């Protein structure tokens, strides 16, 4: 008997270009309310050393308490550079946008609790 290895997507995403910055929008694709939605911190590759050396920048997203079925949420985030919050002029979320034909070096590692209180995870490749 073969196991069903198909993983259903619980979230879809898109980047929104606003006049001040780029924003990340998540959509709950399930028929259930999801709780404690969190995207793990994304450590960015060092641009000046072509990805070699320790990361000087990372992006942290705020926790989303819950999302109803088919609900969309724009996640707030903060870019940190050298251990300090960066101002909006140095925001790095733009680096997570997908460019066709370019390898996606980053992932959105999303965790949440389903309707039964079980922890669930989804990985979405992003970036350039």
Yes or no: domain 11-126 corresponds to CATH 1.25.40: no
User: pTM of the prediction?
Assistant: 0.84
| Amino acid 53: pLDDT | 64
| Amino acid 20: pLDDT | 81
User: Tens-digit pLDDT profile for the chain (128 aa)?
Assistant: 444 444 579 999 999 998 888 899 999 999 999 999 999 999 998 866 555 666 789 999 999 999 999 999 999 999 999 999 999 899 999 999 988 888 889 999 999 999 899 999 999 999 87
- 80 to 25, 57, 58, 91, 103: CA distances (angstroms): 20, 5, 5, 8, 24
All structural domains of the chain with their residue ranges: 11-126
């Amino acid at each position: 008997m073969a196991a069903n290895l198909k993983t259903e997507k619980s979230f879809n995403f898109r980047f929104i270009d606003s006049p001040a910055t780029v924003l990340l929008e998540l959509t709950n694709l399930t028929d259930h309310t999801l709780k404690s939605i969190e995207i793990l911190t994304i450590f960015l590759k060092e641009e000046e050393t072509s990805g070699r050396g320790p990361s000087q920048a990372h992006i942290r997203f705020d926790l989303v308490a819950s999302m109803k079925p088919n609900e969309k949420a724009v996640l707030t985030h903060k870019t940190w550079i050298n251990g300090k919050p960066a101002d909006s002029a140095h925001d790095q979320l733009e680096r997570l946008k997908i460019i066709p034909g370019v390898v996606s070096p980053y992932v959105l590692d999303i965790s949440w609790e389903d309707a039964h209180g079980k922890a669930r995870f989804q990985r979405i490749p992003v970036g350039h």
